[in-house]
Amino acid sequence: MVYLIVRKYQYKDTTPDYRVAKWSNTIKEANQYLSALSLLENGEHTMFFIVPAQENPALILTEEVKKENGVSEEIVF
């Protein structure tokens, strides 16, 4: 299984920003990354957490995301 180490940054009442900081194939390795990243970025506005990723993730754009990002037509791969 793949594990994502997600970085969340939120300053006061602003909208939180989520980014994938690292990924790993084992929970042990994910915990090591989590510990290291937490020590390196020890700020009160930043936190890290582990999220198990789906094996076959699919990107599905909702109408809300399409409008927000200016996507006007469907892209076929």
When pLDDT is cut at 50, 70 and 90, the band that residue 46 belongs to is very high
Bridge partners (DSSP) of residue 47 are 8
When pLDDT is cut at 50, 70 and 90, the band that residue 77 belongs to is very low
Residue 45 identity (one-letter amino acid): H
Q: Where are the domains of the chain?
A: 3-68
Between residues 42 and 75, the one the model is more confident about:
42
Distance of CA 20 to the CA centre of its chain: 4
Q: Are 31 and 8 in contact (CB under 8 A)?
A: no
Q: Are 22 and 32 in contact (CB under 8 A)?
A: no
**Both structure tokens of 42:** 């020890």
| pLDDT recorded at residue 53 | 85
| pLDDT recorded at residue 57 | 54
- Whether the per-residue pLDDT at 26 is higher than 90: the answer is yes
When pLDDT is cut at 50, 70 and 90, the band that residue 43 belongs to is confident
